[in-house]
Amino acid sequence: MNGSWLLPILAIAGLAVITVITRAFFMIPERELPMPDWLRRGLKYAPLAALAGVIAPEVLMSDGQLIATLADARLPAVLAAGAYYFWKRSILGTIVLGMAVYLPLHIGLGW
């Protein structure tokens, strides 16, 4: 043992401490933190922006490039799931319908 185990252990412990502090930051103070109204209104859109930032590249890109063909199973699946969500407002139904459209096209047709 030459001490090569120490650096990974310290890195893991440091990352764990940073994660706990950043996740619990809003629960540490005993009173609510003062926030300007413009920031409070802007934070309402943060989850939607994060979701769009994760989903949009996955749907519109393949191997770091924009999808060049419409024969991609993700596009009809997203359109069907989006239409269903706006019609019924059901998250579970949206996921089920999106996968029901995606899987046959992807596995069956090889899109």
Q: What is the pLDDT of residue 98?
A: 94
Q: What is the pLDDT of residue 1?
A: 54
Q: What is the pLDDT of residue 48?
A: 85
H helical segments located in the chain: 6-24, 37-43, 46-60, 74-88, 91-103
Mean pLDDT by 10 residues, the chain (111 residues): 81 94 78 86 88 88 84 91 94 94 92 84
pTM for the full predicted model: 0.58
Ranges of each domain in the chain? 69-111
CB-CB contact of 67 with 84 (8 Å): no
Q: What is the pLDDT of residue 2?
A: 67
